[in-house]
Structures are given as structure tokens and as C-alpha cells.
Amino acid sequence: MGKEIKTVKDIPLQELLLPGHVACAGCGMAISVRHVLKILGGNTVVTVPACCLSVIQGLFPKTAVAVPLKNVPFASAAAVASGLKAGFRLQGKELNVVAIAGDGGTYDIGLQALSGAVERGEDIIYFCYDNQAYMNTGIQRSGATPYGAWTTTTPKGKKERRKDLGLMMIANGATYVATVNPSFPMDFYGKFLKAEEKKGPRVLIGYSVCPPGWRYTPELSIELGKLAVQTGAWILWEFEEGVFRFTGYSKRLAEGKAKRKPIELYLEPQGRFRNVLRDPEKLKALKRGINERWRVYRKIAEVYSSSTPG
Amino acid sequence: MSGTIIITGNHAVSYGAWSSRVRFVAAYPITPQTTIVEMLSDFVNTGKMKAEFMTVESEHSAAAAVMGAESTGVRSFTATSSHGLLYMSEVVHWIARSRLPVVMVVVNRAIAPPWSIWTELLDTMTHRDAGWIQVYVSNNQEAYDMVIQSYRLSEMKRVSMPTMICMDGFILSHTFAPVTVHTPEETDEFLPSYSPLWKIDPENPFSLGNMATPDYYYEFSYLMHEAHENAKKLFNNVDKEFERFSGRSHGGKVHGYMLDDSESVILAMGTLSEEVMVAIDNLRKRGEKVGALKVRLFRPFPAEEISKALEDKEFALILDRSLSYGYEGQLATETKAALHTSGIETPVINMITGLGGRDVTYKEIEKFHGLAKKKVSSEKGPFKPIFIQLKR
Ligand SMILES: Cc1ncc(C[n+]2csc(CCOP(=O)(O)OP(=O)(O)O)c2C)c(N)n1
Ligand code: SF4
Ligand SMILES: [Mg+2]
């Protein structure tokens, strides 16, 4: 509240994800969780369903998380968060209740609970770190796995497109919906600060690299996140009070101030897209899918533009 | 002021939550539980109850939200039935393993297919091992009283385990009977405000439920067992204290009826045990020396009390309104194990009755007893369960 983060130097020094967590090197989720906790600070309670984050906290009786954290069943993050918030509200306690879940716990098994919480207008922050597969159980496809990507259950590449959670959340009536990407930390911080100041259900969806799951080497993690946005494979945007906005580099792309880099630059470092790169038909389909997303989002931006009356 | 009103078993439960100053309710409708939460919703909306009522989208979320609220140190309640309980099953275990003293009423109902809305105990029986204290009630007053008593027992720091109050669908849930109800102010005398064993508090941050290796997990389970042992020790004290407060006792872990001079005993749970007592009265009139044992507490299991009640008896007839396919009724299994542990050789006849809400009348129970007596005197055993109401 009242916090301002204008440059990287303003990022709080306090670490609430402590050294000693056991995430893989280059894990996008660990980077994101570190940022999220820095922004929200110590007056925060976190709930986590089954996912990589439930493991990387470390083994009992130790923990690498310095705020209260309750691990909960896979499908239940949004519902437990609702109950936690109600419990604190009943005692007149003002604090951030945040659910942090993977894409499996959000797009798939936890979608019903999330949809219910958003519909009820629960005063919670929900952060989905989207690493685009079930990583904890060893890289199986999820509803968020992109077209063409290899997983252990899509050995020839996924045939279907991924769900669009952001659009679902807008339609569902969330107060604030945004996509973030830790390769763009200022955009990331700005959106979480906004989220913290708002009331009601706030859903943030985070692009979240995973070196072992995506089959690339960890030193590329930040670079890959940049390429995802620069090639248009991941779109940065936010939706608040009936207004949709592209943000950061995606805004420049949307306004025609920059040109999307060739998608191959994003796909090539990742072993999971090998099948796509080998097959021109698949590559074409993947590109079509990205263009389609952009077309949809441009329309959404038009419909929910700031100039739209009422 | 306390007063007596004529209400259904379900509304008795709602009043129990009101008297107990429940602060948080999350629930999802299912027949025959629905009217419990409808009334609670009304209590909250009219301000009679200073609580939040969360209208979740499923039982899984009902239990999850209750787990969240209770984790902050707020007294919480939910109620469900049959498929609802099965659907929330995962969280049922989580609540117990989190050592949260939630109270939940389960209105017993048979499981589909075929669809059935009538009573059977299989839904709660399949949650026997979920870590919850399980109480089976047999009348509306007991349903009301046990909500209050269960918070008292569950919230004791030596216990800190949730309680599942099980009551027969329709036979109790939708049947009117007089119930004496106490205001929250009066109830304060018996039920202190909730002071949790642990709660989530940013002033004192810790992680709950992160991965524990085999080096640690075993002890978590042992501590739950120890809590159940404590609950077993404290259960009758709570009943006594409640009697001092309200003038009513339900007999503690087990309630014996005409046992002292009885030659045989009929055991049952829930409303079936009330029907058994009517049968006993009639059998006694005909000179049969028979008594009844109503098993109220099923977890922790009152093995010692049951063994003591059956010691030196000619036989025990156990009526189960539930069946573990491929074996027998659950009360029979548990009772036989208890007898074996105590070295008691009283023969046990198990009859499977009332599945899917099939009516079990006192007249039938009188006949069942006669058949059991004949069987025990003419056969040596081992005795298999008898499907006494099976139509052939
Ligand atoms: C009810 C239930 N089903 C399955 C599992 C096994 N499981 C644990 S984590 C997980 C996948 C998690 O995927 P995601 O939410 O994307 O998080 P990630 O592992 O990628 O971080 C699965 C299937 C479980 N814990 N609970
Ligand atoms: S498997 Fe992927 S998401 Fe999980 S800890 Fe490793 S890098 Fe992070
Ligand atoms: Mg994932």
C-alpha cells in the first residue's frame, strides 16, 4: 500500500523466499514467487496446492518461505484462500491472502474452485505460475500446454491449443486480471502493486519457464521469457474496471511500434518444440494459433477500450 | 432463555450451530442435508447469527473453505450427506491431519447407483479412518446437544481433532420432535470461546503441511492416534459436564438399556438403536431377558465398554445398517475385534438390515432376536452375516 517501484533499485530488499529452497536452477516459478513475496511483504498469508511450489519449500521441519503458508489439496487453493480471508475478516485482520498455484492446479483441477471464488467476489489474490504442464509429476500435458509441445503424455506434441484462462477470468468477473512475466520485472511489480491495492478477486497469470520440462538449459531462462513476449507467444496485458490494455513490449507490438520477432527464435532453444520445428505443417498451425490469439486480444482491447462509454 | 421447540433433526442441528456461536459456515446443498444450511443461511442473513455463510460451488470447496477459516482460529461448521461427503473426502482427511477441530454433520444417505435418498451408514463408514471423531445420534435432542458437545471435545487442546456427527436421513433429518434449545449466552457457560491449538498468524509465520519424509510422517499419525485416545478418555466427562449444564445425558460412549440381568444383547447405532429399545420392551414383556447397547461413539472406538457389556452374555446380535462388501457389517467387525482383544468368547450374530432406507420395525427386530437365539443354540459357528431382509 502506497508502495512505489519505479526502477529496479526500488525493489524491496527483504527476502521472503529464503535461500535453501530446492527449485531447479533457472526455475521461473521460484523467481516469480520471490518477486511476489517481495511486493506483498510480510503481512501476507499464502496457500499452495500440490505443485512444484509445494515441494521446493523444502522438507519438514524446515521451510524456505518466511510468511505463513498452508499447503492444501490440489483442487482447493481458491476455496481455502476464500476461507482464510473470511476467517481474518471475521477477526478484523487486514492482510493479503494469496493462492499460488501451478497451471494444473488452476486451468484444470482447480478451475471449478477458482471460478466459484471469482464469481463470489472473494477478496483474494490468485497467482497462477504457468509452466505449461504438470511438472511436479514429471512433465505431463495440462490444459495450459501449448499446441505442439512435447510432454510425456503428448510424445508427438500436443494436438490441441491451450485454454485461455485470462479470457475466462475476464468473463468470470474478476476485478483485476493480468499476465506477467518475470523477464519484465517492472511490468511484473507494477501489476502486483495494482493488484494489492484493489479489492475482490484478482487473478494474475505468470509466464513461468521450466528448464527440465521445456528441455532447455537454465542460463537461457530470462532470455527465453523475453523472447516469448518479443515473438508474441506470450502477451502482456491487464484488465481492470472494464478496460483492457496491452502493456510493456506487447503494447508496442499491438500499436505497431515494434515488429514481432520470428517465432523460431523462441521455439529453437526448447526441446519440447522439436516436433514442431521438424514439421512445416505443425509450425504453420502453431503460427496460426498465435495470430489467432492476437486477433482475439486486439478485438478484446477494442471492445474494452478506455473510450468505451459506461 | 432456553426453551423447548418442535423442530426437525436438521433444524436441531442448525440451532446447535447457533448456540455454539459458530462464526463461519460453508456448505453445498444435498438431500437430505439441505434444510440445515438453509436455516443457517437464514440465521446469518437476519443477524440472529454473527457469522459468515459462504455459498461455495461444491462440497470439496465447502470443506476447503472451512479448513481455511478454521486455520485462522475461527469456529467453523459444515454439513453434508452421502455423495457430498464422498466428493469432499480428500479434504475430510486434510482437515483431520491439519488437527482442526471442525464440526460437521453428515446426514446419512445411501450411495448410488441406483440413486437413493434414504438412510444408510456406508457414507460415514467409509470415512471411519479419516481421523474424525465419529458420533452416531438417534434423536433430535441428541443431534442438537452433540453439536455443542462436539465443539467442546474437539477444541480441547489434548484432542484438537474434528468431529463428524452422523444422523439418519429423513428418520431424523425431516422428523419433528421437541428439542430444548439454549441461547448462545446460556451455552457460553458450557462451551468456552475457541482457543485454538495453532492458527495462521503473520506475527508468527510457519509453513503447514510441507513435505515430511518417512522420518517424520509416522509421528504425525501417532499424534492423531494419541488425540483419539484422549478424546476417548474425555468423552464421558464432556457428557457429564453437559448434564450439569443442561440436565441431559445421552449415556456417554455407549448407552446400555436393560443390560444388568440380560442374557443377550442387541447392538445398533443411530435411529436403529431406538427401534431396538422398543423391541426390548416387548421382548421383556414376553419374559425374554434381553438388553440393548446403543453405540454412540464409533471413533475412537469404545472397545472396552462394549466388551464389558457383552461379557458373560449368551450371545450378541449386531444390527448393521451398512455393509462392507465381501465381509460383514462394520459394527460387527469392530465389536468382534474388541471381544477378541479382551479374550471374551460371546458368540456374535450379525444381521444386515435397513440398507438404502429399508424400514426396520421393532416387530422385525423381535423376530431377528428369536432367529439369532435359535441359531446360537443349534449351531456352532463361525457365523456369517445374515441378510435378514433379503427378498428372494
Ligand atoms: C487430487 C490429486 N490428483 C493428483 C495429484 C498429483 N499431482 C501433484 S502435483 C500435480 C501436477 C501439478 O501441476 P501444476 O499445477 O501445473 O504445477 P507444477 O507441478 O507444474 O508446478 C499432480 C498431477 C495430487 N496431488 N492430487
Ligand atoms: S521442474 Fe520446473 S517448475 Fe518445477 S522446480 Fe524445476 S524448474 Fe521449477
Ligand atoms: Mg505446471
Q: How many Cα atoms are found within 13 Å in the side-chain-facing hemisphere of A61?
A: 4
Q: What is the DSSP string of A255-304?
A: TTSS-PPPTHHHHTT-GGGHHHHH-HHHHHHHHHHHHHHHHHHHHHHHHT
Residue B84's closest CA among B64, B102, B58?
B58
Three cell numbers written together for B289: 431377558
- Name the architecture of domain B3-246: 3-Layer(aba) Sandwich (3.40)
The mean pLDDT value of chain A amounts to: 96
Picking from B44, B200, B217 by the largest number of A CB atoms within 10 A of its own CB, the best residue to mutate is B200
Q: Coil, strand, or helix at residue B304? A: helix
- What residues sit around ligand 3, an ion, with C-beta below 5 angstroms? A 102-103, 131, 135
- Buried b / exposed e along B333-343 (16+ C-beta atoms within 10 A): bbbbebbeebe
CATH class of the domain defined by B254-387: alpha beta
pLDDT at A307 over 70: no
Query: Does the distance separating the beta carbons of B91 and A61 come in below 8 Å?
Result: no
A89/B148 Cα distance (integer angstroms)? 24
pLDDT at B366 over 50: yes
Beta bridge partners of A114: none
Confidence of residue A1 (pLDDT cuts 50, 70, 90): very low
Q: How many other CB atoms sit within 10 Å of the CB of residue B2?
A: 12
Q: Number of CB pairs < 8 Å for A and B?
A: 159
Distance of CA A218 to the CA centre of its chain: 19
Whether A56 is in the pocket of ligand 2, judged by its Cβ within 6 Å, is: yes
Confidence of residue A2 (pLDDT cuts 50, 70, 90): low
Percent pLDDT > 70 in chain A is 98
Listed by start position, the domains of chain B span: 3-246, 254-387
Q: What is the DSSP string of B214-225?
A: HHHHHHHHHHHH
pLDDT at A308 over 70: no
Residue B150's closest CA among B242, B61, B220?
B242
Q: What is the DSSP string of B68-125?
A: HHHHTT--EEEEE-HHHHHHTHHHHHHHHHTT---EEEEEE-PPSSSP--S--SHHHH
Chain B interface, Cβ < 8 Å to A: 23-24, 26, 51-52, 54-58, 60-62, 64-74, 76, 90-91, 94, 98, 200-202, 204-213, 216
- Mean pLDDT, residues B256-275: 98
Three cell numbers written together for B165: 456427527
Residues B307-322 have pLDDT tens digits of 999 999 999 999 999 9
ipTM of the complex: 0.96
Cβ neighbors of A274 (< 8 A, separation 6 or more) are A150, A215
Asked if B3-246 and B254-387 have one fold, the answer is yes
Q: Which domains does chain A have, with CATH numbers?
A: 26-303 (3.40.50.970)
Ligand lying nearest the CA atom of residue B94: 1
Residue A65's closest CA among A54, A73, A74, A76?
A54
B330/B36 Cα distance (integer angstroms)? 28
Cβ neighbors of A109 (< 8 A, separation 6 or more) are A74, A75
Percent pLDDT > 90 in chain A is 95
Query: Does the distance separating the beta carbons of B70 and A87 come in below 8 Å?
Result: yes
How much is the pTM?
A: 0.97
Q: Are A48 and A127 in contact (CB under 8 A)?
A: no
pLDDT at B392 over 90: no
Residue A84's closest CA among B274, B252, B76?
B76
Residues A54-81 have pLDDT tens digits of 999 999 999 999 999 999 999 999 999 9
Query: Does the distance separating the beta carbons of B210 and A112 come in below 8 Å?
Result: no
- pLDDT for the residue numbered A262: 98
> Is A76 an interface residue toward B (CB < 8 Å)?
yes
- Mean pLDDT, residues B373-386: 96
Residues B170-218 have pLDDT tens digits of 999 999 999 999 999 999 999 999 999 999 999 999 999 999 999 999 9
| DSSP letter (8 states) at residue A106 | I
